[in-house]
A and B are shown apart, each in its own frame.
Chain A
Amino acid sequence: MTAARAFAVVGLVAFALVVLVPFWWIANMSFKTYEQVQFATSIYVPRPFTWANYTALWLDTRFPLWLRNSLVTAVAVTALTTVMASLGGYAIARLRFPGRGFVASLILVLYLVPPALLFIPLYRVLAELGATNTLASLILSYPTFTVPFCTWLLIGFFKALPHELEEAALVDGAGRTAALVRVLLPLAAPGIVASAIFAFTLSWNEFLYALVFIQDETALTVPVGLNLLIYGDVFSWGQLMAASVITTVPVVALYVFIQRWMVEGLAAGSVKG
């Protein structure tokens, strides 16, 4: 074995441990009873193994409702974002109009504006619209970060597509919209799917806006609900861990499914070296 291979093996093992140990620790705790945790009886593997936390989480807490709220929000935000970002990304990448460079820079700048700067004034704006305490406040506010990011990604994707196909469609008498819908969209599908998954993940994981805009316990999303469980009076560690596992699995599944596109999207969109 060469030095490079030894380095690779040691490095891969080290990074795999760093990445996996925290996940394993949470999953491990989610399959233990309260007593097993409290008296530290089976520390590294849950023995005996129990599903009790999952059933309790499902039956005794509002978690199913929070999950539904997160899902409704994420799906609505993803749909809105995909439409806006595809149209915008196409226009900036493919159409010639005055101020195009400015609009492209603006999108980038907006993608970098941190939510921490906007949550207080945004709360006031949403309150004046009567949207606080409902999922509408999230569906309206999440696009402020998903749309700039996804538009930026899609500009890259649309730019990379061959011009000839679209020109052929235009020569054949198709309008811009028809050219976009029939010719370019199918070609850009991988990019659009990747950007949709990004939008879904960002929305699914968002915490600050959801914490600020929603107080009504029936309208909470999962991250804020989890935060309630942490600081609740009942020490329901196991349920908290079970909730973390359930929340992480869909995102990981989505991500495994499109990993290649996502990584390419990242490399193409944000940090093309």
Chain B
Amino acid sequence: MSRAGARDSGTALLFLSPLFVLVVGLIVYPFCRAIWLSFTDKLVGYPERFVGLRNYLYLLQDDGFHAVVRNSLVFTVASVGLKVLTGLAMALVLSVTWRWRNFFRGLFLLPWITSTVIIALTWRWMFDSFPGRGFFNSVLMDLGLLRSPMALMATAEGAMFAVVVANWWRGFPFFGVSYLAAMQSIPLELYEAASIDGASLWRRFWHVTLPGVKHVVIVTVLLSFIWTINDFNIVYVMTRGGPGTATQVFATYSYEVAFNQLRWARGVTVSIFLVPLLVAGIALLSRYLLRQENA
């Protein structure tokens, strides 16, 4: 190695050392502890004993956990699907906006920078069953569309709908901004060529715009899938997983088992179940992101 190269390595080691300490001490080490804990019977206040796969086998037969898997999938697929559709709509609207585009882009991004606790709180009130507090009940009753207030969040489907809406509202601006950036990098000549060939607006969208944003759509879907299936804040603040277990998802269930039932080992195991899915998602996503990084 050349002298400059050796000097670079020394500097790199120096510059990266704080990062290594952080990563090893507070991410890798706790992660390994989590794996170990999932093979024990750790209860708060008692020493742990190795129990092999007992936690995993228990959860596989636990009706509560089955509900968690179902709820998490419904919650994630519905939110991410909505985010893709509205994100595309937002990007299309902004791409044909002829004035103040940056202003509107900034305005539409506001939900994305707002605290998720406040968002959850806000949507709790939007859906509240009491007219003076709940926006939708107030409006629907004033319009005469509703005779008496509707307690949406008291029903299983309604509560799921409410948490999906709150999660969607927070996430769609990120999708919209990403798609807009991708749309703006599609060469204009492609649209012109399509116009000359007599392609309709719809066909231009289908054959030029969509292929142009496909890559970014895949990246945002993977990214959002990973974040949404692990969401804690919105569900916890809005419903605490209820009514019953209707909106209990992985993170809230893990918290419930670990901190309310004080069964730490089982609580950790709940989230470990997601690891294979996460590894697959992260591997796919890294390939997409690193490929463009090196391109």
The interface of chain A, by Cβ under 8 A from chain B, is 3-5, 7-8, 11-12, 15-16, 18-23, 25-26, 29, 36-41, 43-44, 83-84, 87-88, 90-92, 95-98, 100, 103-106, 108-110, 112-122, 124-125, 140-141, 143-144, 147, 151, 176-177, 201, 204-205, 207-208, 212, 222-223, 226-227, 230, 237, 240-241, 244, 247-248, 251-252, 255-256, 259-260, 263, 266-267, 270-273
B 87-111 contacts with A by CB, 8 A:
89-90, 92-93, 96-98, 102, 104-111
A15 with B93, Cβ < 8 A, contacts A25-B125, A108-B290 known: yes
Chain B residue contacts of A25, Cβ below 8 A: 122, 125-126, 135
Chain A residue contacts of B138, Cβ below 8 A: 40, 43-44
Bound complex: CA A153 to CA B169 (Å): 24
Nearest 8 Cβ contacts at the A-B interface: A40-B132, A11-B93, A273-B182, A114-B230, A116-B251, A205-B115, A121-B30, A91-B15
Bound complex: CA A3 to CA B278 (Å): 43
Answer whether residue B226 sits at the interface, using C-beta atoms and an 8 A cutoff: yes
Contacting pair B15 A121 (CB below 8 A): no
Interface SS, B side: helix
Contacting pair B271 A4 (CB below 8 A): no
Minimal beta-carbon separation of A1 from chain B (angstroms): 11
Minimal beta-carbon separation of B250 from chain A (angstroms): 7
Chain B residue contacts of A151, Cβ below 8 A: 19
A271 with B216, Cβ < 8 A, contacts A19-B108, A109-B286, A120-B258 known: yes
Contacting pair A121 B31 (CB below 8 A): yes
B97, B118, B142: the one within 8 Å of A248 (CB): B118
B254-287 CB mask vs A (1 if < 8 Å, else 0) is 1100110000100110011011001001100110
Contacting pair B12 A95 (CB below 8 A): yes
Chain B residue contacts of A124, Cβ below 8 A: 30, 33
A120 with B268, Cβ < 8 A, contacts A16-B104, A97-B8, A105-B286 known: yes
Interface SS, A side: helix
Minimal beta-carbon separation of B232 from chain A (angstroms): 5
Contacting pair B19 A19 (CB below 8 A): no
B 164-203 contacts with A by CB, 8 A:
169, 173-174, 177-178, 181-182, 185, 201
B 228-247 contacts with A by CB, 8 A:
230-233, 236-237
Contacting pair B96 A97 (CB below 8 A): no
11 A-B pairs besides A96-B5, A227-B117 with CB distance below 8 A are A7-B92, A21-B135, A25-B122, A104-B290, A108-B289, A118-B34, A120-B258, A207-B237, A266-B174, A271-B182, A273-B215
A240 with B98, Cβ < 8 A, contacts A91-B15, A267-B178 known: no
- Chain B residue nearest to A152 in the complex (CB): B289
Contacting pair B275 A112 (CB below 8 A): no
Count of chain B residues near A, Cβ 8 A: 104
Minimal beta-carbon separation of B144 from chain A (angstroms): 15
- Chain B residue nearest to A268 in the complex (CB): B181
Contacting pair B30 A108 (CB below 8 A): no
Chain A residue contacts of B73, Cβ below 8 A: none
A207 with B232, Cβ < 8 A, contacts A29-B125, A40-B132, A144-B26 known: yes
Contacting pair A125 B26 (CB below 8 A): yes
Bound complex: CA A115 to CA B278 (Å): 12
Bound complex: CA A120 to CA B25 (Å): 15
Chain B residue contacts of A226, Cβ below 8 A: 117-118, 121
Bound complex: CA A201 to CA B110 (Å): 12
Bound complex: CA A247 to CA B5 (Å): 48
Chain A residue contacts of B108, Cβ below 8 A: 15-16, 19
B 15-35 contacts with A by CB, 8 A:
15-16, 18-19, 22-23, 25-27, 29-31, 33-34
Minimal beta-carbon separation of B125 from chain A (angstroms): 7
Contacting pair B13 A117 (CB below 8 A): no
- Chain A residue nearest to B271 in the complex (CB): A117
Contacting pair A244 B122 (CB below 8 A): yes
Bound complex: CA A37 to CA B281 (Å): 46
A103 with B16, Cβ < 8 A, contacts A125-B26, A140-B26, A271-B178 known: yes
Contacting pair A91 B16 (CB below 8 A): yes
Contacting pair B7 A176 (CB below 8 A): yes
Bound complex: CA A92 to CA B8 (Å): 11
Answer whether residue B114 sits at the interface, using C-beta atoms and an 8 A cutoff: yes
Contacting pair B8 A95 (CB below 8 A): yes
Contacting pair B11 A177 (CB below 8 A): yes
Bound complex: CA A141 to CA B104 (Å): 35
Bound complex: CA A37 to CA B130 (Å): 9
Bound complex: CA A259 to CA B108 (Å): 12
Minimal beta-carbon separation of A159 from chain B (angstroms): 8
Answer whether residue B143 sits at the interface, using C-beta atoms and an 8 A cutoff: no
B27, B182, B267: the one within 8 Å of A110 (CB): B27
Contacting pair B178 A109 (CB below 8 A): no
B9, B122, B174, B216: the one within 8 Å of A97 (CB): B9
